[in-house]
Amino acid sequence: MNLLEGYIKDIHSSEGISLVVIDTNEGNLSTLVFDTPESNDYLKVGNKIRLLFKETEVAVAKGEVSNVSHQNILDGVVEDISLGEVVAYLKIKLKTTSIGSVITRKSFDRLDIKKGDRIKAIIKSTEISLEKV
């Protein structure tokens, strides 16, 4: 499980759903939660928060990423690689920490990923969970 920490920067709520923007050391990340500041007291601008997301929810791209719906795109460098027959595990160094990504071996080979490559880590907003600190 990947874990980052940050502070709630902005919240936009409607119909019981909130788009929460969190300021982390790695950049701003956003997530959708089925809560609002009125229904849950941890949703307050300025509150410290943990972001949790699975390694399987981190897609990767080499080169520029444009015209994609995902809002969470982080710059990183491939720090370590563990290859299996079906999947590849990547350790990605961000600005101040590392996260993991599990992708298919087929995608790994197609992207020709190597240790030291600059990549983009892409996390869908609906796949990040929040935890009160």
Mean pLDDT computed over 88-104: 98
Mean pLDDT of 73-86: 97
pLDDT at site 35: 93
- Angle at the Cα of 98 from the Cα atoms of 92 and 101, rounded to 5 degrees: 45
| pLDDT score, position 80 | 98
Per-residue pLDDT, averaged over 71-91, amounts to: 96
Beta strands 2-14 and 17-24 are: antiparallel
User: How far is 96 from 79, CA to CA, in rounded Å?
Assistant: 13
Q: For 42-55, write each residue's pLDDT tens digit.
A: 999 999 999 999 99
Q: Is the pLDDT of residue 70 over 90?
A: no
Cite the beta strand spans of the chain per DSSP E.
Answer: 2-14, 17-24, 27-33, 48-53, 58-61, 72-83, 87-93, 98-104, 118-123, 129-132
pLDDT band at 66 (very low <50, low <70, confident <90, very high): confident
Residue 68 CA to residue 55 CA, distance in Å, equals 20
| Domains, in order of start, for the chain | 2-132 (2.40.50.100)
Nearest to 25 by CA among 7, 2, 43, 12: 7
pLDDT digits (tens, 9 = 90+) for 23-44: 999 999 999 999 999 999 899 9
The strand pairing partners of 21, in sequence order, are: 10, 30
pTM above 0.85, yes or no: yes
pLDDT given at position 96: 96
State the pLDDT at residue 67.
75
**Most confidently modeled range among 60-64, 65-69, 113-117:** 113-117
Burial 58-80 (b: 16+ CB within 10 A, else e): bbbeeeeeeeeebebebebebee
